[in-house]
C-alpha cells in the first residue's frame, strides 16, 4: 500500500520482542497479540495494519507489552504503521469506558471511531503546473496559449490547462520538457484556515458578559469543569459559549474544540455564524457529508489541524489530539441518544470524555433535561443563567386553546380561535408557523368498507398517507407503495380513507382559509437536503412565506424575525405511550416551537391546542413556569426511583419467529442473575414489536443509583445460551419504552 511509511524489515520475531495488543474495529471482546518487528515504531495508540485470519485489517495498538520468555507462541507481525499521530491515551480510555458503560465490545466502539478510516491516508494529491518564467525559443502557438492559460487560471491540472487553451494535454507536457512549466505534487485539500479572532464578542449584554467571563476563566484555568448554560430561547447562549471557544483557541496553537448539535440544527447558517465569529470555517461532521469530506474532517482532527469541529452526535468519537473544550448545544435533545448498534447517549458520554481529556464541557439549553437540572442542583455542574433576550425582543405570550370548548369544525383541525389568529396575522403582514409533528397527509389509512387498517408488512406499524407523492409510507423503515385503488383486504373500490391530521392536510385547510397566502410545508419530505432546508429557511427569513407548516424540524434554532404567531395543532400527540419522559419532552418541544415567535421587535403569540389543558406540562407552558414543571417531574421520578434517582436499562431480544422469541425470552428470564436491589420486568413486546421480519421483546431493569447496572447487564448477557438466530443487546438508560 503506497500510503504507509514503514514496512517490516523482517517478519520473524526475535526472542526479546515486544508485543502489540491490537484492537480491531470488530465486535470482538479482546485485542489480539502481534509481534512488533525490529525498528518499527508501533506504540500505544498507533494505527496499524495486521493480518487477521486471511485478511489484512486496520486496527489500533491498545497496549505494548514485553514478550514473556516462556511465551512460545509464533506470533504474526504487525505489517505497517500509519503516519497518523497515535490515538491519545485519553481517547483509548474513552473507547474502553464507552464500551463498558454501554455494554458493548470495545472493538464495536472502535468501529465508530474508525468509521472514516480513509482519513488515515494522507490527503490525496494531484499534479499542478506552474509557469517558471523560463524563456524558450521553441514556442509554438499552442504552447503560448497554454502558458497564457496557466498565467490566467493559476496553478491547475494538465487537463484543465489544455481545455482552457483548446489544445491537447501533450502540449502541457512539452512545456515541462523545455522548462517553461513546472509540475508540482500538491494536496488536493487546502489546509484548514486557522481561526484568528479570539477577542471578546461585541455588544454582549450584562448577563451575557458575566456568563462569558465565568466560562473564559474556567477554560483558562484548565481541567475538567462541567457547566450548564441555562438560557431562554434567543437569550444569546451561542454568543456566550463563543467566549469559551475563543479562550480555548487562544490557549494553544493546537487546542481543539468540539461542538455537538442535533443533526437537523446543523445548517449552513450555523456554520457561517462560527466562521464570522472566529475568522475561519469550522470542520463539519454530519450525515450530509461526502466520503471525501468525512475523511478530511477525520484526518484533520487526528492531526490536530481542525481546531473547531462542529457535528452531530457521532462527532464525539472523532480522534482529537488535544481536546480542550466540548459544547453540547440543545443538550436535552433526544437525537443525542443513539438507538441502534452501540446504544449510547452523546451528552452523558460527552461529560465522560471531557473528564478523561481533562477538558471543560458546556451543556446549553433553554429546557435542560431533568437529569442535567438535578446534576446542577446537586452541585456537580456549575449553572450559568441567561434570563432575557437582548434588546426589545420578548418571549411570546402562550395561550392554551381547550379543544373541548373550542372544537374545530367537522373535518377541520384548526379551532376557530387559531383560524382567526391566522387571518389577523396575515392581514397584519406578519408570518405564522403551525406545528404538527406528523409528516404526510394522514397518519392512518382505513378501509370504509371492511374496517381494515393498512399496515407495513415489515413492522406492522400503520401506513401514513402522503398526498403529494400519492403513496402510503412506513415511517419506521421508509418502505412505501403507491396508494392502491382497491382495499387489499376486501377489494372494495375507492374505499381507503386517511384518518387524522398530518402537515399536508393542515396545509390544505389553511389554503381554504387563506387562499391568497403563500404556504409551505417544512418536514423531512420537503427538506430532504441541506439545500432544500436552506431554501425554506431563507424564504421564511426573507418574508416570502406567510404560513409555514412544519414538523419538529421547525423547532430548532432558526431565527425568523417576522414570525409573530405560532400555532400548535395537537399538543397532546407526544403524551401518549408509556414513556417516562413524555411530559418532559412535550414541554421541551413545545416551548422550543413557541420560542420561534417574537424574535426581533415584533412581539409574538403562541396558541396551543389541547384536549388536556389541566396537564402539568400544559399549565407550565402557559405560565412560562419551566422550573415549577421540572419540580413536579422531579418529585414523581424521585418517588418512583426512576432516572436520575435510580438506574434503568433494557434488554432487547429479536428472533425470526414468534415461537423462537418466546423461547429466547424464557431462557433470558431464567439466566437473569440476582442483583442487590435490581428488579427485572418482562419480557413484554418491545415498542417496535416487529422490525424487518424479526419479532422483538424487551425486559426492563431498574436499580438504585449505587448499583453498577452495566456490569449487571454484561453478566446477564454472558450467562444466557441462546439459539444462534436470536439477537440480544442491552440499552443503558433506554429512551423509547
- Consult the annotation and say whether 711 binds a ligand: no
Candidates 122, 390, 643, 677; binder of ligand ADP (CB under 6 A) is 390
Gyration radius of the chain over CA positions = 30
Minimum gap (Å) between residue 270 Cβ and ligand ADP: 9
Candidates 235, 564, 591, 615; binder of ligand ADP (CB under 6 A) is 235
Minimum gap (Å) between residue 208 Cβ and ligand ADP: 6
Distances (CA, A) of 490 to 452, 453, 465, 484, 495: 9, 12, 19, 12, 10
Report the alpha-carbon distance of residue 367 to residue 621 in Å, rounded: 11
- Consult the annotation and say whether 268 binds a ligand: no
- Consult the annotation and say whether 474 binds a ligand: yes
User: What's the farthest any 2 CA atoms get from each other in the chain?
Assistant: 94
Query: Candidates 226-234, 301-309, 421-429, 674-682 — which segment interacts with ligand ADP by CB under 6 A?
Result: 226-234
Nearer to ligand ADP, 205 or 477 (CB): 205
Using the rule CB under 6 A, is 22 a contact of ligand ADP?
no
- Consult the annotation and say whether 401 binds a ligand: no
Using the rule CB under 6 A, is 396 a contact of ligand ADP?
no
Minimum gap (Å) between residue 365 Cβ and ligand ADP: 9
Report the alpha-carbon distance of residue 561 to residue 541 in Å, rounded: 7
Site string for ligand ADP, 551-570 (x = CB under 6 A): --------x-----------
Nearer to ligand ADP, 559 or 736 (CB): 559
Report the alpha-carbon distance of residue 467 to residue 476 in Å, rounded: 18
Candidates 46, 102, 233, 367; binder of ligand ADP (CB under 6 A) is 233
Candidates 84, 225, 238, 710; binder of ligand ADP (CB under 6 A) is 238
Candidates 203, 420, 448, 453; binder of ligand ADP (CB under 6 A) is 203
376, 340 in Cβ contact below 8 A?
Answer: no
Using the rule CB under 6 A, is 368 a contact of ligand ADP?
no
Using the rule CB under 6 A, is 702 a contact of ligand ADP?
no
Report the alpha-carbon distance of residue 609 to residue 402 in Å, rounded: 6
Q: Parallel, antiparallel, or unpaired for β 563-568 and 431-435? A: parallel
- Number of Cβ within a 10 Å radius of residue 542: 10
Nearer to ligand ADP, 393 or 514 (CB): 393
SS3 11: coil
Query: Candidates 190-198, 231-239, 341-349, 442-450 — which segment interacts with ligand ADP by CB under 6 A?
Result: 231-239
Query: Candidates 203-211, 343-351, 474-482, 704-712 — which segment interacts with ligand ADP by CB under 6 A?
Result: 203-211
Using the rule CB under 6 A, is 237 a contact of ligand ADP?
yes
617, 633 in Cβ contact below 8 A?
Answer: no
- Number of Cβ within a 10 Å radius of residue 496: 21
How many residues sit close enough to ligand ADP to count as binding (CB under 6 A)? 15
Nearer to ligand ADP, 179 or 391 (CB): 391
Report the alpha-carbon distance of residue 667 to residue 516 in Å, rounded: 64
Nearer to ligand ADP, 92 or 596 (CB): 596
Report which of 713, 607, 722, 715 is spatially closest to residue 663, judged by C-alpha positions.
722
Task: Collect all residues with Cβ–Cβ distance below 8 Å to 203 and sequence separation of at least 6.
Answer: 390
- Consult the annotation and say whether 640 binds a ligand: no
Query: Candidates 215-223, 228-236, 262-270, 535-543 — which segment interacts with ligand ADP by CB under 6 A?
Result: 228-236
Report the alpha-carbon distance of residue 281 to residue 284 in Å, rounded: 9
232, 395 in Cβ contact below 8 A?
Answer: yes
Q: Give the burial string for 63-72 (b: 16+ CB within 10 Å, else e).
A: eeeebeeeee
Helix axes 416-427, 503-513, angle to 10 degrees: 60
Using the rule CB under 6 A, is 440 a contact of ligand ADP?
no
Using the rule CB under 6 A, is 333 a contact of ligand ADP?
no
Using the rule CB under 6 A, is 236 a contact of ligand ADP?
yes
The number of residues in the chain equals: 737
Query: Candidates 168-176, 235-243, 411-419, 539-547 — which segment interacts with ligand ADP by CB under 6 A?
Result: 235-243
- Run of H or E residues at 714: helix 709-719
Query: Candidates 181-189, 191-199, 204-212, 518-526 — which segment interacts with ligand ADP by CB under 6 A?
Result: 204-212
Minimum gap (Å) between residue 234 Cβ and ligand ADP: 4
Minimum gap (Å) between residue 732 Cβ and ligand ADP: 30
Report the alpha-carbon distance of residue 732 to residue 727 in Å, rounded: 17
Using the rule CB under 6 A, is 736 a contact of ligand ADP?
no
Cell of 629: 414543571
Using the rule CB under 6 A, is 318 a contact of ligand ADP?
no
Using the rule CB under 6 A, is 267 a contact of ligand ADP?
no
Minimum gap (Å) between residue 229 Cβ and ligand ADP: 9
Angle at 229 between CA 224 and CA 231, to 5 degrees: 180
3-state per-residue secondary structure call for 379-441 = CCCEEEEECCCCCCCCCCEEEEEECCCCCCCCCCCCCHHHHHHHHHHHHCCCEEEEECCCCCC
Report the alpha-carbon distance of residue 204 to residue 235 in Å, rounded: 11
Nearer to ligand ADP, 205 or 322 (CB): 205
Residues placed in the known binding site for Zn(2+): 447, 450, 474, 487, 490
Question: What residue ranges bind ligand ADP (CB under 6 A)?
Answer: 203-205, 208, 231, 233-239, 390-391, 559
Amino acid at each position: 500500500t503506497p500510503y504507509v511509511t514503514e514496512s517490516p524489515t523482517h517478519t520473524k520475531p526475535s526472542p526479546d520482542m515486544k508485543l502489540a495488543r491490537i484492537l480491531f474495529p470488530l465486535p470482538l471482546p479482546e485485542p489480539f497479540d502481534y509481534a512488533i518487528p525490529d525498528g518499527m515504531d508501533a506504540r500505544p495508540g498507533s494505527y496499524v495494519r495486521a493480518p487477521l485470519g486471511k485478511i489484512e485489517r486496520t486496527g489500533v495498538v491498545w497496549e505494548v507489552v514485553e514478550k514473556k520468555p516462556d511465551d512460545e507462541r509464533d506470533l504474526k507481525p504487525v505489517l505497517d504503521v500509519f503516519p497518523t499521530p497515535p490515538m491519545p491515551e485519553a481517547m483509548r480510555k474513552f473507547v474502553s469506558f464507552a464500551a463498558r458503560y454501554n455494554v458493548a465490545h470495545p472493538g464495536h466502539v472502535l468501529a465508530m471511531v474508525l468509521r472514516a478510516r480513509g482519513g488515515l491516508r494522507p490527503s490525496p494529491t494531484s499534479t499542478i503546473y506552474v509557469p517558471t518564467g523560463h524563456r524558450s525559443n521553441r514556442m509554438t502557438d499552442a504552447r503560448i496559449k497554454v502558458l497564457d492559460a496557466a498565467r490566467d487560471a493559476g496553478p491547475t491540472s494538465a487537463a484543465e490547462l489544455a481545455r482552457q487553451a483548446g489544445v491537447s494535454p501533450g502540449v502541457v507536457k512539452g512545456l515541462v520538457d523545455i522548462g517553461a512549466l513546472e509540475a508540482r505534487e500538491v494536496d488536493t485539500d487546502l489546509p484548514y484556515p486557522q481561526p484568528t479572532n479570539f477577542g471578546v464578542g461585541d455588544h454582549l449584554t450584562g448577563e451575557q458578559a458575566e456568563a462569558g467571563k465565568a466560562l473564559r476563566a474556567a477554560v483558562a484555568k484548565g481541567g475538567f469543569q462541567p457547566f450548564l448554560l441555562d438560557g431562554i430561547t434567543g437569550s444569546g447562549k451561542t454568543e456566550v459559549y463563543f467566549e469559551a471557544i475563543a479562550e480555548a483557541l487562544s490557549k494553544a496553537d493546537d487546542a481543539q474544540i468540539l461542538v455537538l448539535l442535533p443533526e437537523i440544527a446543523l445548517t449552513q447558517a450555523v456554520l457561517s455564524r462560527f466562521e464570522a465569529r472566529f475568522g475561519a470555517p469550522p470542520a463539519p461532521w454530519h450525515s450530509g457529508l461526502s466520503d471525501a469530506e468525512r475523511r478530511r474532517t477525520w484526518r484533520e482532527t487526528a492531526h490536530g489541524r481542525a481546531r473547531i469541529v462542529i457535528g452531530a452526535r457521532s462527532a464525539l468519537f472523532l480522534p482529537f489530539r488535544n481536546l480542550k473544550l466540548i459544547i453540547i448545544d440543545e443538550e436535552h435533545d433526544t437525537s443525542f441518544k443513539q438507538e441502534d448498534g452501540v446504544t449510547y447517549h452523546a451528552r452523558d458520554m460527552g461529560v465522560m470524555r471531557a473528564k478523561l481529556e481533562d477538558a471543560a464541557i458546556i451543556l446549553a439549553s433553554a429546557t435542560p433535561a431533568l437529569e442535567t437540572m438535578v446534576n446542577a442542583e446537586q452541585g456537580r455542574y456549575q449553572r450559568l443563567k441567561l434570563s432575557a433576550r437582548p434588546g426589545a425582543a420578548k418571549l411570546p405570550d402562550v395561550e392554551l386553546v381547550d379543544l373541548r370548548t373550542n372544537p374545530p369544525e367537522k373535518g377541520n383541525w384548526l379551532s376557530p380561535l387559531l383560524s382567526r389568529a391566522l387571518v389577523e396575522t396575515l392581514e397584519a403582514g406578519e408570518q405564522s408557523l403551525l406545528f404538527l409533528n406528523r409528516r404526510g397527509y394522514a397518519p392512518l389509512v382505513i378501509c370504509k368498507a371492511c374496517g381494515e387498517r393498512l399496515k407495513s408488512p415489515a413492522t406492522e406499524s400503520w401506513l401514513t398517507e402522503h398526498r403529494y407523492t400519492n403513496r402510503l409510507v412506513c415511517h419506521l423503515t421508509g418502505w412505501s407503495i403507491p396508494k392502491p385503488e382497491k382495499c387489499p383486504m376486501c377489494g372494495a373500490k375507492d374505499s381507503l380513507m386517511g384518518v387524522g391530521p398530518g402537515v399536508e392536510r393542515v396545509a390544505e385547510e389553511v389554503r381554504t382559509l387563506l387562499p391568497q397566502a403563500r404556504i409551505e410545508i417544512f418536514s423531512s419530505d420537503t427538506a430532504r437536503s441541506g439545500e432544500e432546508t436552506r431554501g425554506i429557511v431563507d424564504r421564511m427569513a426573507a418574508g416570502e412565506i406567510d404560513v409555514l407548516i412544519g414538523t419538529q424540524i421547525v423547532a430548532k434554532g432558526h431565527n425568523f424575525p417576522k414570525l409573530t404567531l405560532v400555532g400548535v395543532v395537537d399538543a397532546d400527540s407526544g403524551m401518549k405511550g408509556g414513556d417516562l419522559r413524555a411530559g418532559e419532552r412535550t414541554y421541551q418541544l413545545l416551548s422550543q416551537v413557541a420560542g420561534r415567535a417574537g424574535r426581533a421587535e415584533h412581539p409574538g403569540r403562541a396558541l396551543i391546542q389541547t384536549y388536556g389543558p389541566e396537564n402539568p406540562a400544559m399549565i407550565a407552558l402557559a405560565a412560562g413556569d419551566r422550573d415549577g414543571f421540572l419540580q413536579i417531574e422531579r418529585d414523581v421520578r424521585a418517588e418512583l426511583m426512576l432516572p436520575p434517582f435510580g438506574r434503568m436499562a433494557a434488554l432487547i431480544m429479536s428472533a425470526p419467529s414468534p415461537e423462537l422469541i418466546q423461547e429466547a425470552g424464557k431462557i433470558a428470564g431464567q439466566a437473569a442473575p440476582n442483583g442487590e436491589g435490581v428488579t427485572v420486568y418482562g419480557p413484554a413486546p418491545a415498542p417496535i414489536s416487529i422490525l424487518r421480519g424479526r419479532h422483538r421483546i424487551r425486559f426492563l431493569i431498574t436499580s438504585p443509583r449505587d448499583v453498577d447496572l452495566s456490569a449487571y447487564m454484561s453478566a446477564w448477557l454472558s450467562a444466557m445460551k441462546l439459539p444462534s438466530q436470536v439477537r440480544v443487546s442491552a440499552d443503558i438508560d433506554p429512551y423509547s419504552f
